[in-house]
Structure 1
């Protein structure tokens, strides 16, 4: 039983909801600057310095791969330096990264900035947020995760257009510096005021159940890699995110010849907005259902949306498909912590989240390139997106498999 059990988690006075607010802001700026903002950096650094697009995009790839390595050691860092120090270190690294992006003059500084951004992910990314909220919530864990991770989507919807608008009026350098100041002014106070483990807990006891299970030892990374249940969660989600990343990156290129640039841009907006709706909707009921079943349903809905998308040229149908697809986009980072908590256990939660996030990050990084490669071979997106449909359906089937779990255990996990 977690520390939060025995209190009214639905009460607005419960301190855990202030932690959710802090995590929302962390996700807002981490994903806004660290993921969605990279398209802005690509354009502006090319314009300002004349650097080739391959140089900047290679730095992005370097950052994503370095992040996938660093997140493996999130639990070690939490044990060594503590929760608040790690988050503040992540905030400092992200702030240094965005300032350096604004002031840089040489290509080597670009790689330093992106390396600092990777350090930021280890302090304010999904693993830390999931581990922290896992310590505060039991009955409302799914809702808390959904609300906090909505900050990631809002970072793309709000921060990126704001950066573009500010860049047009005051220039890229001033825009980045101003946005960095706002980030520190908003995030620093809430981290200092709200962030912490529940009273009487630490990383080692986060979410630890009571009774016999409380004595269960933490699994090492080697043990996790030998755990079939871990792989039937990590691999299908990684495959689904690979297909998802492939579609998202190529969405505008696919839609523009069919419905025009303006409508293609509108489709992206609809998809992002529906991601927010999807996370909120999931949060309302996911604590009462089997997360593996909900995950499989989300993957199947994305496969269905892509399948219909390939059959039509009607603008309304295409926009509707993007809306349906977007409904499940954000939930792929909500399911892993829920499944890990139920099936792998609390003692290994941070280690499993770090290792799973790393594997998923490496696998999904190949999504855009794979879709682009198939498209270049076939001359169109039909085969590429059909491949994504198949990947989603295979992932949906695999995630429903619970190796080594008895019928009684399955019933318990679904209750």
Structure 2
């Protein structure tokens, strides 16, 4: 592999895209909720309804992003998405009525689509084959850093300067750093580069049209993959939404905050570890192990009330956070022709986002009905164990017309 291979600059750029995409478009949502409550007196339910609208409508935009990158190239998609995210966040500073919140989120949605998991996986896939697992893991580590670095810095700025000034400052930093980086790095691959591996060797693209979304849903292997990651992410996102509330009675708010930070650090470490080995192992088997580790984390959290035990449970849970958005694209690469990659990955991200969007509300309902988080954690355990088994299912013949090690 040549050290000058441009694909590694693409990975760096994708890392920066993910950093701001998840910083503004995922982790930032909780900060907007608190800030708008403090600034305008809106109830959490009012803002949460807007967030649900953002996720549901955003799923349909995410569904199209792979095709858009294939057709127009990564650079215009990312630059336009960055501009839309900036406009949407800026619009949050001037909303005065609840209905205006939906307009602001409507501006942000294309940004989330262009800077999210479907986009990152598609961009990396244009440059890497054999070492795509490592490349995708490094690029999507930016998503973890969005929670580990960007979100705390943004929260601190809001506390120090107020919501409006903090938003404008964060937007300015994003535009000044991501804009030039994307413009310079995300050039369209030349025809002789488009299908080369990261070792510099060429691979011919598979002729023919990509499967339609209906045809993908008719493919049993695709269904077991999407189903497994949908319910796995349903459990994961649900727990993350309620993690601080679950931990606070024992650890206190400050201790719960440290546990969340530990989860994020573990997520970063887990992504690097999986990235180092995933290109050399069966990717469904790797996914099953990751999901099983998260199931074990629920067992630990359910069986202990000690401070140490709770931190250990959060550490184990963090190992899978992030990997569940990297692994589906790697399974698609391993089991489907290259022509299907962009559409199959974007469609998976859209479906899993739709399913996971209802999770936090469901766990809240279970908590209210039972009076504790025990039932909610048992539900997460069952979902993760089910996903770990389902992802191992490989019905039907291998639907790929390329060598497995291509």
TM bucket (normalised to shorter chain) is over 0.9
**Equivalent in the alignment of 1:300:** 292
The question of 1:188 aligning with 2:179 is answered yes
Aligned-pair CA distance for 1:201: 6.5
**Equivalent in the alignment of 2:249:** 257
Q: How many residues align?
A: 401
- The counterpart of 1:127, out of the listed 93, 106, 118, is 118
Q: 1:202 to 1:90 in 2, by over 3 A?
A: farther
Q: 1:206 to 1:54 in 2, by over 3 A?
A: farther
CA distance in 2, matches of 1:394, 1:147: 28
Aligned-pair CA distance for 1:414: 8.1
Cα contact 2:328–2:345 (8 A) shared by 1: yes
- The counterpart of 2:259, out of the listed 261, 267, 271, is 267
Aligned-pair CA distance for 1:80: 4.8
CA distance in 1, matches of 2:405, 2:244: 39
**Equivalent in the alignment of 2:30:** 39
Q: 1:168 to 1:48 in 2, by over 3 A?
A: same
Cα contact 2:63–2:346 (8 A) shared by 1: yes
Alignment gaps of 5+ in structure 2: none
- The counterpart of 1:391, out of the listed 383, 398, 404, is 383
**Equivalent in the alignment of 2:17:** 26
Aligned-pair CA distance for 1:90: 0.3
Cα contact 2:263–2:318 (8 A) shared by 1: yes
**Equivalent in the alignment of 2:39:** 48
Q: Cα RMSD over matched residues?
A: 2.2
Aligned-pair CA distance for 1:202: 9.3
Aligned-pair CA distance for 1:210: 4.6
**Equivalent in the alignment of 2:227:** 235
- The counterpart of 1:108, out of the listed 99, 103, 107, is 99
Cα contact 2:69–2:122 (8 A) shared by 1: no
**Equivalent in the alignment of 1:153:** 144
The question of 1:328 aligning with 2:315 is answered no
- The counterpart of 1:364, out of the listed 352, 356, 362, is 356
Alpha-carbon deviations, 1:239-261, whole Å to 9, x = none?
A: 00001111111111111112222
CA distance in 2, matches of 1:248, 1:267: 11
The question of 1:345 aligning with 2:311 is answered no
Partner SS state of residue 191, structure 2 = coil
CA distance in 2, matches of 1:174, 1:374: 38
Aligned-pair CA distance for 1:383: 1.9
**Equivalent in the alignment of 1:199:** 190
**Equivalent in the alignment of 2:207:** 215
Cα contact 2:287–2:324 (8 A) shared by 1: yes
TM-score (norm 2): 0.94
Q: 1:137 to 1:82 in 2, by over 3 A?
A: closer
TM-score (norm 1): 0.92
